[in-house]
């Protein structure tokens, strides 16, 4: 099984700042099989990025994904107030697994 | 618009079973699959398994093999997840999510979640 590690655990930033979230896999993941989700308290997760770099329908272009192999990154270019949330990466090879999440909170 | 509407919260005793439903609308149900994901209080996301609404194929997380069964009713566009021999650590919010019909992939639409509480 492929284990995902996310860092940092918590990222404290101000609105307007750039957020860089990391997701590292225990073994190589096909770029086609890496996704990112956003989850706010009391809500279901929302798909942001699939295939490592493709924005899902309706996702603003301030969200971007990159990476390959074992290292992937989600970047939020300028944080909006509604972007403060928990972000999960997910690999979906034979059996999907989620990373433990990164919380982006207001500094 | 695509919607997944789940059944309501339940409280169960240890050792009991629970069956959660997920009614899909706004798309062709048999062209996709449904995955189930759970989230214990204050914890992260745990994938439980997947079922193809096209052909009924399933793929369950190894941890839950033997305790979970996923089914679909294509006549009502509804997916079901049954979990047996419930334990206190099964207390969680359970989500259904739309996936690819061939395999569990990324999940582009999610249900609102169903809280299952296991307590004596």
CA–CA distance, B71 with B86 (Å, rounded to integer)? 19
Chain A CB contacts of B112 under 8 Å are 44
Q: Average pLDDT of A80-101?
A: 93
- Is the pLDDT reported for residue A93 higher than 80? no
- Is the pLDDT reported for residue A31 higher than 80? no
Pairs of CB atoms within 8 A across A/B: 60
pLDDT in tens, B83-105: 999 999 999 999 999 998 777 78
Measuring CA to CA, which residue among A38, A62, A29, A48 is closest to residue B108?
Answer: A48
- Is the pLDDT reported for residue A96 higher than 90? no
Q: Average pLDDT of B108-114?
A: 97
Rg value, chain A, Cα = 13
pLDDT in tens, B23-78: 999 999 999 999 999 999 999 999 999 999 999 999 999 999 999 999 999 999 99
**Could you tell me which residues come within 8 angstroms of residue B7 by beta carbon, excluding any fewer than 6 positions away?**
B20, B21, B22, B114
User: Testing the interface with A: which of B3, B9, B43, B45 to mutate, by most A Cβ within 10 A?
Assistant: B45
Interface contact B5, partner A, CB < 8 A: no
Which DSSP symbol is given to B110? B
Q: Average pLDDT of A29-36?
A: 88
Chain A CB contacts of B37 under 8 Å are 45, 98
Q: What are phi and psi of B90, to 5 degrees?
A: -85, -5
Instruction: Give the confidence band of A1 by pLDDT, cuts at 50, 70, 90.
Output: confident
Which DSSP symbol is given to B88? G
Q: What pLDDT shows up at residue A18?
A: 98
């Amino acid at each position: 099984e492929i284990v995902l590690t996310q860092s940092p655990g918590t990222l404290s930033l101000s609105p307007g700042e750039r957020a860089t979230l990391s997701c590292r896999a225990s073994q190589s993941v096909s770029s086609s099989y890496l996704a990112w989700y956003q989850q706010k308290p009391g809500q279901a997760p929302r798909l942001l990025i699939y295939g490592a770099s493709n924005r899902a329908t309706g996702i603003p272009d301030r969200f971007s994904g990159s990476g390959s192999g074992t290292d992937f990154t989600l970047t939020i270019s300028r944080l909006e107030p509604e972007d403060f949330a928990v972000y999960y990466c997910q690999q979906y090879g034979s059996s999907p697994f989620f990373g433990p999440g990164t919380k982006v909170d207001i500094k | 618009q695509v919607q997944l509407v789940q059944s309501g919260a339940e409280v169960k005793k240890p050792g009991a079973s629970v069956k959660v439903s997920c009614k899909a609308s706004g798309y062709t149900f048999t062209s996709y699959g449904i995955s189930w994901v759970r989230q214990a209080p204050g914890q992260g996301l745990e994938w439980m398994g997947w079922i193809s609404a096209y052909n009924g194929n399933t793929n369950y997380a190894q941890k839950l093999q033997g305790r979970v069964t996923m089914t679909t009713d294509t006549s009502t566009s509804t997916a079901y997840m049954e979990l047996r021999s419930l334990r206190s650590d099964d207390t969680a919010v359970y989500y259904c999510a739309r996936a690819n019909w061939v395999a569990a992939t990324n999940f582009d639409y999610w249900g609102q979640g169903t809280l299952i509480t296991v307590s004596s």
